[in-house]
Structure 1
């Protein structure tokens, strides 16, 4: 039966097609498919537009066109563009949206996560760029080098090199042969006419699905989508179908990638059927059984990491629209023969065909899959992305039926599937072999292994003697038009987190925060313990990090395997992996509410009674050695390590030791020192535990008290950092690493800004306008958008908790473009410091800060993390209600004063790391 929904004025009636598990499908007259699901747990909306076009639709000569076109869709339409100050990036920045786009084999997706007041803005922007893109030659020319730098950054990583070669060799006829980003010569040479043809062929409503999830009514969201998309015509032609099929492989294929690198890798790929094939469910079960480095109960972990043969393992099931690949792989530890690791991988796969899976293992992975789905669906954004992937490879009903099909998998199905697909003639095996280098390379600096390096780019300031641009050219680059604030911010009702949060300090000094967020079937949990690097910095061997690594590897009541099996059954295999930062050891996870009692029991035992088993310590040392080997060939971590050595005294918290010294100290660590440090640092008085979700507050508190009330411990020591003087003058350091397609650059100096400072928010806005966002900030507009010299450029405060951490500007660039990029960074900084922030940028960045904070609270876990952080910093739970007041009163004078106080680029150290142009 087809239902008709009331139409928006001037648009045809959308038709309701079906509704399953809270998701409703509608179809517009022009063929656009619309999926809508309400979620009222947070005032946030997610909009996702999926086009059924990816690298699967490309051929030799235009590979990478889908991805290149994805970039071009941010360059503007006649209605919305940067020149008018109302381009998509301009508008979304002002409201604090989280937005991006991704390209894969079968689809291209564009998405926004925004405060729900701005859903219509997103709908209007997406409808506008579906058919009204300008596609100008000048935008193509500048963006080409940006896309090329993205390609070059990928070439720096062995995993990306292996993936590209594996698909290219496993697929000879089908277009999955081509990498999504394209072959370099195509990326560099594709003409605008080809991109325009691609756009006019595939970007039509009858080749797309619009997905809206969040805090709105279905009628409201459908009305907006119909209003803005309904008048777009259907494609005037049939959407081209991909008719090429890959013939069966007729024998094993092998390849090697040999280049400068860290450790060998072994990857094995097997052809598997398309996503809609019945065999994909037992193949997915096999993926669960094989596992990864983060699943300690999994077969590959036990076979290769537990035996110290591999540093990392993974199993990956690429279920695509057409037949794809099942891939298993490992990063081989130093001194281990890759051939032996290959044989172990193959034997584990063969074992699946020889021996039935145990009832216990099969039951555990089914429970893990089901609970993982419940947790993913609790977050509207996660569900939107899942629906988008389903639409690209099959349709959304495939996702709705997935868990039932997975639950029906039998032991016999798994054995049959393994026998069918894991055969010699169906496999392609690839090795990454690091090229031997001379031992006299002067790599005298080491890697920063901190988590912050996983999320920041790199950049620098040049001390050039030769001008690379004329004065007129520089002025043109810096002539950035102020972007008018074109978004109307409606007065928002004051939030009342302070009233909703229940704070309890147990008799032993442990702080517990509880908040109800009903309707999600889940709970977000966050823990912070004052036990980070600061508290063990004067003890040899990075003890806080080692303790964090070892906590989930065995406790008084549960050995490592039992911990892992329990977590996998809950659908949260990594939920006891602790982070360690400068001041805290902690974690954040979400879980199904019914699992909360048992999870708290596990958490308590792991935190309070770790074994620190000698065998596990020995394995950890092997893993750390492997990380160091990898870091020595990583351009970003090398740059940051050398930078920290140049900025800080050896006894300072933010100083990084030489690799050799780190390893010597690591080798000397004994279990006795771990027990002693754990006893000293891990204390209820140092701990904050937060629960937010579908809970009864009093019952949840009793669960916490049951597990933690008898814990005893001392008060943590106060945090007092020594002063960090600025460098006397600017300095430039170069690190030569062989065969790197992209150079990482970091410019930084110590910064005294603190989270508790009166001018913290002014400093945050000053930095945001300069470089928080690589698209809309001043640095991004000059170095990426106008000059096209980098894929990403950012300015960042590394750690503002207690001051002293680096403030940095960072980017990556082709070796030939390094000096040009550095000159523009210098000129942009000088111009910004001289003129200060514009009033328009002040309004824009204040709006961004408020909106992004709101979006960050879109899940129970997000709320739990923020509550825990604010409590740790001494800001209190009511600070969540006061955020807007900190930004509303900011003036240009406030921000400029903070800028001049905290930014000192003329005294910064600049580090370049990579294969530098001579």
Structure 2
């Protein structure tokens, strides 16, 4: 039966724009608000709802860059002047329901999104309707505090090498297009933007006729349309005129070089691409995938040679023609290195224009891209994110239509598109290099007394005919079942959700080796195998003479089955994870992993070094990240070196990686698990998979690695934290060249996750530093404008180890010490006086409901379920929820007094100090 048929008195206010098995799209007859409903099952009855306004940085004019992003921030503020007697914003309205609330601004859209229980959709709709009608800030108040927050975010971006280089590349690539600057804009423009102008901007562009309301999840169309009309139906259309900003033709190659105070080198080769709705835009998506694909892509080959430690190939699908970007980090600032790398890429692109992609390779890469698309539609949040960009392009159906477009792509299409896109005359090359010594700065116009250097000058100033008969209704609530079994290989936890399309397996036991670096390199070799493309100085051969080896390895199998495989080893606990489409056989997947382990490629010393260098490249970047460096230092002070919570420093990990050998990898592979240690296994599947099926799959690993000495013990090892004498202390980490840093506080807590008091302390920590209206953010961000975000987390507590409270915030390096002291004052007030009854009530409700919202994401569900199994075979999600429900106000404050008050505090300041 058609969903949308003849007359009904309930929904005469809408007309149906598109009807499709995947979605319904409506338009309000009065104000032209678009409404998109995408049915999606959710075992927790969670929906993703968003407002997508068709306005972004592309529409900003000179000297007003960053205005759209700044307005996005201001639209979260409280209504300082009561409009309808209610001044609360969306955070205060929805937080108690466990909602995830955020917003983002891009080139052509701004969206405000929430992940919420389906039964509070009407509350969400009321909040968004109010935000559409009124700019929730007082123009007369001239409040500049939120500007400080946005400027702080801009400073953080300036420390990002990719963002710094891309800003220069788009500036060089475009002349009059709105794509000539990044969405964040410039600090100077943001600082000078008046709130009067922002209010005028809101009044023009934030109207119903420039907006699409999108709902994804288990909710009836009738409920959505009823709420939408009730809250948005009387909002008038806005009148505005967009400026035509088509780009001028590029008639020659362009280049730009940027110097940075950070020790990074990077290149970017960019080409103007096609608008997102053009069919060839999807061909460019496939070319980007091909260039990065393991064993055959040029970027993967260059990484194998350690010429490009990390890379990305990005085809930006947006409403107008933007950029196809090839980006890579460089191991050296030597210009000859960059020239050699870019030369190899040009050789590859030339070959791509001339040589057809073999069909078996083409099908494999197409499947890889389809897997990537498919992974994003697995939950309501992922599908909602895809809907954001599809709506921005102008057609929600792009989510599904592009899959058909990928399947239809031929080798001839790739050659055709490569020939007209990868033209040197339409290229822009960007280089980011460390700033050379000897540069003399020009006098700063902001310097005191600068005007005395200027000539004196005198200035003269002047001043619905079709209705719904029946609403689409999804099936009744889908319940999660959970059972635990004692098996010959250990303990199995089987989670079942009917009709899900993925199977998840996580396995943990004790490793034979405690060398995490060795596990990382071995896992990479197992996944990737050996390269098939060949790079020569004068010529690029896209593919080896035979594709047989490529088609018979674990990575190819993973692509064909849409499978992910990972292996890690931390403090001698080894974990394997497998995820694949439910239609495929889990036993077969485990067999392929075992086959890859058995037939581990025999690499030369140089090839092992390259694999290790690829891993080390990721850790090199961490060395310059103030957040990671500060947290590592914190755990170093709070815990002994062999403690589970002690984080390995990047320097130590890089050192370990340099000493990995092929002999080590073979030993690791041959004796992966320690004898005498059974497995803890968690599997999430649909109801078509039986416990026997899972047992047969896991038994393959057991039989392979059990050994004669294996005994039936439980897999739950205690990792009790060694006692450590800790005093209050301050550490400063000097990280030159960045405009921002991190202030951090840490307190060790003698509790593990099995203790019910851990839940009470976690709730208290949430009051202090979780969410926009936490104690930290209300003062440091909203009231003072010191930071883009300040947070507190209760971390650790795994496997009977101690925990620690981690308090952190990003601050400007100019004020970081004062700002960290202000954060410390808030901590002292928190531990001395506890939380209020009102804070407790809201935080308890949020904690319980947010757990449900998070568990709707199946990756989160599997991860947390396996984590609880590893902590205690008797601990599960129901127990955690029960503990939250039983938490009392007095109990939380008692936990603060006992475990946090008068305890030693470690302070870490990481930045240009």
Normalised to the residue count of structure 2, the TM-score between the two structures is 0.86
Question: What is the CA distance between 1:635 and its match in structure 2?
Answer: 2.1
Matched-pair contact (CA < 8 Å) for 1:77–1:129? no
Matched-pair contact (CA < 8 Å) for 1:769–1:778? yes
Structure 2 match to 1:98: 100
Q: More displaced, 364-373 or 888-897?
A: 364-373
Distance 1:905 1:433, change over 3 A: farther
Structure 2: runs of 5 or more not aligned: 439-475, 531-547
Distance 1:903 1:240, change over 3 A: farther
TM alignment of 1:447-462, pairs within 5 A: none
Matched-pair contact (CA < 8 Å) for 1:356–1:412? yes
Question: What is the CA distance between 1:910 and its match in structure 2?
Answer: 1.4
Which of the residues 655, 675, 692 maps onto 2:685? Answer: 692
Matches of 1:416 and 1:379 in 2, distance apart?
Answer: 36
Q: How many residues align?
A: 841
Question: What is the CA distance between 1:590 and its match in structure 2?
Answer: 4.6
Q: Residue 503 in 1 paired to residue 503 in 2?
A: no
Structure 1 match to 2:591: 601
Matches of 1:158 and 1:257 in 2, distance apart?
Answer: 10
Question: What is the CA distance between 1:681 and its match in structure 2?
Answer: 3.0
Which of the residues 864, 876, 880 maps onto 2:877? Answer: 880
Matches of 2:894 and 2:569 in 1, distance apart?
Answer: 34
For 1:216-255, what per-residue CA distance to the aligned partner results, in whole angstroms no more than 9, with x for missing partners?
Answer: 22222222222222221222x1x32241111121111111
Distance 1:912 1:16, change over 3 A: same
Structure 2 match to 1:406: 406
Matched-pair contact (CA < 8 Å) for 1:266–1:341? no
Question: What is the CA distance between 1:608 and its match in structure 2?
Answer: 7.3
Distance 1:127 1:81, change over 3 A: same
Question: What is the CA distance between 1:32 and its match in structure 2?
Answer: 0.7
For 1:467-497, what per-residue CA distance to the aligned partner results, in whole angstroms no more than 9, with x for missing partners?
Answer: xxxxxxxxxxxxxxxxxxxxxxxxxx99974
Matched-pair contact (CA < 8 Å) for 1:795–1:810? yes
Structure 1 match to 2:16: 16
Matches of 1:707 and 1:81 in 2, distance apart?
Answer: 66
Q: More displaced, 101-110 or 706-715?
A: 706-715
Structure 2 match to 1:458: none
Distance 1:833 1:513, change over 3 A: closer
Structure 2 match to 1:392: 392
Structure 2 residue matching 1:812: 3-state secondary structure: strand
Matched-pair contact (CA < 8 Å) for 1:12–1:28? no
For 1:44-100, what per-residue CA distance to the aligned partner results, in whole angstroms no more than 9, with x for missing partners?
Answer: 111011000000110112111111111011103379899968321122221111121
Matches of 2:436 and 2:624 in 1, distance apart?
Answer: 13
Which of the residues 111, 134, 137 maps onto 1:135? Answer: 137
Structure 2 residue matching 1:220: 3-state secondary structure: helix
Structure 1 match to 2:42: 41
For 1:270-325, what per-residue CA distance to the aligned partner results, in whole angstroms no more than 9, with x for missing partners?
Answer: 0012112232122122112112xxx4245034421122212112110001111011
Structure 1 match to 2:229: 226
Which of the residues 732, 745, 761 maps onto 2:743? Answer: 745
Normalised to the residue count of structure 1, the TM-score between the two structures is 0.85
Matches of 2:333 and 2:659 in 1, distance apart?
Answer: 21
Which of the residues 608, 613, 623 maps onto 1:632? Answer: 623
Matches of 2:477 and 2:14 in 1, distance apart?
Answer: 37
Q: Residue 723 in 1 paired to residue 722 in 2?
A: yes
Structure 2 match to 1:478: none
Q: Residue 246 in 1 paired to residue 247 in 2?
A: yes
Structure 2 match to 1:161: 164
Question: What is the CA distance between 1:588 and its match in structure 2?
Answer: 5.4
TM alignment of 1:793-808, pairs within 5 A: 793-801=790-798, 802-808=800-806
For 1:139-172, what per-residue CA distance to the aligned partner results, in whole angstroms no more than 9, with x for missing partners?
Answer: 8411000001111111111111112111111112
Question: What is the CA distance between 1:385 and its match in structure 2?
Answer: 1.7
Question: What is the CA distance between 1:569 and its match in structure 2?
Answer: 3.1
Q: More displaced, 137-146 or 354-363?
A: 137-146
Matched-pair contact (CA < 8 Å) for 1:41–1:517? no
TM alignment of 1:538-617, pairs within 5 A: 542-554=517-529, 562-571=553-562, 575-581=564-570, 584-586=573-575, 590-597=579-586, 598-606=588-596, 613=603, 616-617=607-608
Question: What is the CA distance between 1:740 and its match in structure 2?
Answer: 0.7
TM alignment of 1:49-448, pairs within 5 A: 49-77=51-79, 86-137=88-139, 138=141, 140-235=143-238, 237=239, 239-291=240-292, 295-334=293-332, 337-435=337-435
Distance 1:583 1:84, change over 3 A: farther
Matched-pair contact (CA < 8 Å) for 1:64–1:186? yes
For 1:190-240, what per-residue CA distance to the aligned partner results, in whole angstroms no more than 9, with x for missing partners?
Answer: 1101111110111011111111111222222222222222221222x1x32
Structure 2 match to 1:826: 824
Matches of 1:693 and 1:350 in 2, distance apart?
Answer: 47
Question: What is the CA distance between 1:552 and its match in structure 2?
Answer: 2.4
Structure 2 residue matching 1:396: 3-state secondary structure: coil
Structure 1 residue matching 2:678: 3-state secondary structure: helix
Question: What is the CA distance between 1:602 and its match in structure 2?
Answer: 2.9
Structure 2 match to 1:645: 636
Matches of 1:123 and 1:772 in 2, distance apart?
Answer: 24
Q: More displaced, 330-339 or 273-282?
A: 330-339
Question: What is the CA distance between 1:611 and its match in structure 2?
Answer: 5.5
